[in-house]
Amino acid sequence: MVDYDDISRCDCTVIHEDVVNRVKSNMPPDERLYDLAELFKVFGDTTRVKILWALDESEMCVCDLAVLLNMTQSAVSHQLRVLKQARLVKFRKDGKNVYYSFDDDHVKSIFEQGLLHISEG
Amino acid sequence: MVDYDDISRCDCTVIHEDVVNRVKSNMPPDERLYDLAELFKVFGDTTRVKILWALDESEMCVCDLAVLLNMTQSAVSHQLRVLKQARLVKFRKDGKNVYYSFDDDHVKSIFEQGLLHISEG
DNA sequence: TAATCACATGAACAGTTATTCATATGTTCA
DNA sequence: TGAACATATGAATAACTGTTCATGTGATTA
């Protein structure tokens, strides 16, 4: 049944109530889809994609990444924080340096699927 | 060899030149990584994720989606345009209605990989 | 111990984006 | 033909985001 308390913001009439109800009952909870979007938001930035791609190739320190990407150390550091929070990279400290590396098995395959999509243009 | 013309904005010294050079030579071209980020940017919004998830379940018209998501028809329509531009959904017209449906084989598997990641928290 | 280096971080700013509102287009039907 | 409906779209606005700048922290070394 359509929950009419929930459709207050919608300015349409319900055309296919059966479809809406079926789809609604099969949808993952909002929170889950929100988390999913949050994850993809992390991938939705060229700098972060480059960093992830680089770290999949080799462990690198912040300075190396800054040189590679031709960006300030600060900008790279800010983005690494985002990647860290999303549990996509890990790091180890060695003296003054901090070495970042890849920390996820799924990301590469997500990227590969993404590349398949944009290749079919 | 490090291209010193390219590191003007970096305030670091090159620490591991060999690593930087190797990684740089293996990186896909900037344009490709940019396109990849643009694709993920599309997935980086809860509304669009919900729409894609719904359309994977069933073809739906704009009003149905608006009801399902408890959003205005206008908001949904704007997002459908984004999805259309990214070639993630297709549509067919039938009278006054426009029916949207899924148009990509990779997206679902991208989503599934994403769910794997957020499930491991 | 003082200087230097690698890195982190808060504040600020500019650019982007999602939604809303108003309105336009095109179809159906009385 | 005119009213009603489904959808699209441009403009405006509020919220968000990525980079820069200035500065702080902690480790090294002269």
Place A25 in a pLDDT band, splitting at 50, 70 and 90: very high
Residue A119 pLDDT: 84
Interval B33-46: pLDDT, tens? 999 999 999 999 99
Residue A3 pLDDT: 39
More confident residue, B100 or A3: B100
Give residue for tokens 């990301």.
A107
Report the sign of the C-alpha dihedral through residues A78, B10, B31, B79, in that order: positive
* Cβ partners under 8 Å of residue B24, min gap 6: A68
Interval A48-106: pLDDT, tens? 999 999 999 999 999 999 999 999 999 999 999 999 999 999 999 999 999 999 998 88
Of the candidates A100, A94, A95, the one whose C-alpha atom is nearest the C-alpha of residue A64 is A100
* Cβ partners under 8 Å of residue A72, min gap 6: A66, B9, B10, B11
In chain A the domains, ranked by start, together with CATH numbers, are 1-43 (no CATH), 45-119 (1.10.10.10)
Contact B24 A62 (CB under 8 A): no
Give the mean model confidence (pLDDT) for residues B105-112. Answer: 86
Residue A5 pLDDT: 37
Nucleotides of C under 7 A from a protein CB: 5-11, 17-23, 26-28
Q: Closest nucleotide (CA of B73 to C1')?
A: D7
Nearest-angstrom CA–CA distance, B33 and B36: 5
Q: Checking DSSP bridges between strand A89-94 and strand B60-61, what pairing results, if any?
A: unpaired
A20-36 residues labelled b (16+ CB within 10 A) or e (exposed):
bbebbeebeeeeebebb
Lowest pLDDT segment from A62-66, B70-74, B102-106? B102-106
Nearest-angstrom CA–CA distance, B107 and B91: 17
How far from B103 is each of A65, B59, B79, CA to CA, in Å? Answer: 36, 11, 15
For residues B12 and A66, the answer to whether their CB atoms sit within 8 Å is yes
The A 6-65 residues near strand D by Cβ under 7 Å are 11-13, 15, 41, 44-48
Q: Give percent of chain A above pLDDT 70.
A: 88
Give the mean model confidence (pLDDT) for residues A5-10. Answer: 42
Measure, in angstroms, how far nucleotide D14 C1' is from residue B45 CA: 17
pLDDT, chain A, mean: 89
Residue A121 pLDDT: 57
Q: Give percent of chain A above pLDDT 90.
A: 73
ipTM: 0.90
- Residue A103: burial class (beta carbons within 10 Å; 0-12, 13-18, 19+): middle
Measure, in angstroms, how far nucleotide D3 C1' is from residue B96 CA: 15
Give the mean model confidence (pLDDT) for residues B73-85. Answer: 98
